[in-house]
Amino acid sequence: MADPVSWHLSGDYFENCSCSVVCPCLVSAAAPLTSRPTEGFCNVPLVFHIESGRYGSVVLDGLNVFVILQAPGVMAEGDWSAATYIDERADDEQTEALTAIFTGAAGGPMAAFTPLISKNLGVSKVPIAFRIDGKTRSAEIPGILHMSVDPLPTMHPSGEMWANLGHPVSADKMAMAVGAAGNIFSDRGMRWDNSGKNGLYASIRWSNAS
């Protein structure tokens, strides 16, 4: 069997789930993902921008990825649906690399979700715009996604509330956030409106190194 491809990346990420602020998964006294979502289900889009990255010899700099995860109940109970959207600017090698990383097939943080996913809704290539404007994170996929999050209000001079949540995407540090009005996802027979719902954002630094 061939050795796994060595890869690493760094960049930025944000999400906006369907739970009210603050998501029960983040403040559960038990293990993460064991609390029932506030709406009884969890619809969560995750958006990523790769500032720099390599998958073997394949350069991933500047590319964006969008992942949707949908859980019908308590997240730890599984039966999730998932879909992956790859930046249309990626060539064939980059598309293969990003698909491996962001579906968890190549190891790394996203592999933590794969045992919970029972329905793979596939991979699409789309134009993904990712923007950071001050403390606001936003993303746009024409006809599919409009999403923006801002930090939760805080009295701290930084204007941000950071926490160590143990989230697989960024285990050490995440900023608590809230979705803006008009946060819509519509594709694959689904339509989500996560306006005013729980958000998170963080810088990420991933690899498949042990």
Cα→Cα distances 150→28, 39, 159, 178, Å: 23, 21, 10, 6
Structure tokens that stand for 204 in this block: 């990420």
Residue range 136-192, pLDDT digits in tens: 999 999 999 999 999 998 877 778 888 887 788 998 889 999 999 999 999 999 999
Distance CA 78, CA 114 (A): 9
Q: Find the DSSP H helices in the chain.
A: 24-27, 92-102
Task: State residue 166's pLDDT score.
Answer: 78
Q: What is the pLDDT of residue 93?
A: 98
**Distances 8 to 1, 68, 149, 170, 179 between C-alpha atoms, Å:** 22, 22, 26, 14, 29
pLDDT tens per residue across all 210 residues of the chain: 467 899 999 999 999 999 988 877 766 555 556 678 888 889 999 999 999 999 999 999 999 999 999 999 988 898 999 999 999 999 999 999 999 999 999 999 999 999 999 999 999 999 999 999 999 999 999 999 999 999 998 877 778 888 887 788 998 889 999 999 999 999 999 999 999 999 999 999 999 975
Residue with tokens 């134009």: 127
- Residue 31 is predicted with a pLDDT of 55
Residues 6+ apart with CB under 8 A from 21: 152, 176, 178, 196, 197, 198, 199
Tokens linked to 179: 């979705």
Decide the pairing of beta strands 174-179 and 198-207. Answer: antiparallel
CA 127 vs CA 50, 85, 121, 130, 141: distances in Å: 15, 9, 18, 10, 6
Chain center to CA of 200:
9
Angstrom CA distances, 74 to 70, 82, 106, 114, 129, stand at 11, 16, 26, 16, 31
> What pLDDT was estimated at residue 87?
98
- Domain limits, the chain: 7-207
**How far is residue 210 from each of residues 7, 10, 100, measured CA to CA in Å?**
12, 17, 17
Look at residue 81 in the predicted model and tell me its pLDDT: 96
pLDDT of residue 172: 85
pLDDT computed for residue 25 by the predictor: 74
Q: What is the pTM of this model?
A: 0.93
Note if the bond before 22 is cis, omega within 30 degrees: yes
